[in-house]
Amino acid sequence: MLSCKDASQIISQSLDRQLTMRERFALKLHLLICKYCKQFSQQLHAIRAALKLANSAVENDDTVKMPSETKKRLMQSIESS
């Protein structure tokens, strides 16, 4: 049986790599009986989702433009290269 300490490590790694079958099974069992680890998992996903949302908000914000000075300079260096 996994401890919460073990489970939390596996949950974190599930954001970075594919878990093995054995890990997935053990984690599933643990999450069935442990609401704190389940909430921990939801928290990590919530953090990631919030950051993703923030990124796409900046990316899609048409009011954010490259400073025109930079653009001008860039035009010049493109022309001269």
Residue type, 46: A
Contact 11, 19 (CB under 8 A): no
Pull the structure tokens for residue 47.
């953090």
Q: Does 59 bind other proteins (CB under 8 A)?
A: yes
Q: Does 76 bind other proteins (CB under 8 A)?
A: no
Query: Cα–Cα–Cα angle for 56, 60, 63, nearest 5°?
Result: 135
Neighbours of 27 (CB within 10 A): 19
CB of 10 to other proteins, least distance (A): 10
What is the Cα–Cα distance from 58 to 73, expressed in whole angstroms? 24
Taking residues 19 to 58 in sequence order and writing x for each that binds other proteins by CB under 8 A, - otherwise, the string is -----------------xx-xx-xxx-xxx-xxxxxxx-x
Number of shown-chain residues binding other proteins (CB under 8 A): 45
List interacting residues with other proteins (CB under 8 A).
3-6, 8-9, 12-13, 15-17, 36-37, 39-40, 42-44, 46-48, 50-56, 58-62, 64-67, 70-71, 73-75, 77-78, 81
